[in-house]
Amino acid sequence: MQSFTFELECLLPYSFELTVHKPAGWSWLTRNEVYENGTIWSGIRLTLDTAVGLKLRSVGTVDKPRVRCEAFTRRELSTEEKSELQRVVRKKLSADEDIREFYSTARKDPVLREVVNDLYGMRDTPMADVFAAAILAITLQMAPWKRSMQMMNSLLEIYGEKIAFDNKAITDSGG
């Protein structure tokens, strides 16, 4: 297993924990990722034949945000692939989303003021890829939530790729 580490600065305010570990239980990139003690282990597909295990944790604060990412791959990535992975991780973390204008407006509204207080720095993050979004849309059609999650887990088990790294095993979306 090959690995390399990089760090990302994020536009403030930025809550790493609330962004990758949503209070409502939504996953960040894939259904069976692991979040423990401020660290998330997840997986993403860089290319059709390159699955990447990701271990991320905050090394900053909400008002001075910085995220450390360790990437694990079966083969050495080229310089271009490493740059592309960093770009993709930045995008998936919504690290460049400027939400300061929202906060200045929200602080004036009595309902949104509570959201600002409770979820300060949380970002809405995009789906891992088009495949994951399409599968989620299909499995949510006319099915109870529990059944949708059973279908999603079955699809991941059959079509996803297991990525074993850092004593964890994650299944990427297989897209």
Using pLDDT thresholds of 50, 70 and 90, give the confidence band for residue 116: confident
Looking at every residue in the chain, the average pLDDT score rounds to: 89
Query: For a pLDDT cut of 70, what percent of the chain falls above it?
Result: 94
pLDDT of 13-39, one tens digit each? Answer: 999 999 999 888 788 988 789 999 999
Contacts of 62 (CB under 8 A, 6+ apart): 12, 13, 14, 15, 120, 121
DSSP category for residue 147: H
Q: Tokens 């495949």 sit at which residue?
A: 131
The residue among 159, 165, 139 whose CA lies nearest residue 150 is 139
Could you tell me the domains of the chain? 2-126+161-171 (3.30.310.20)
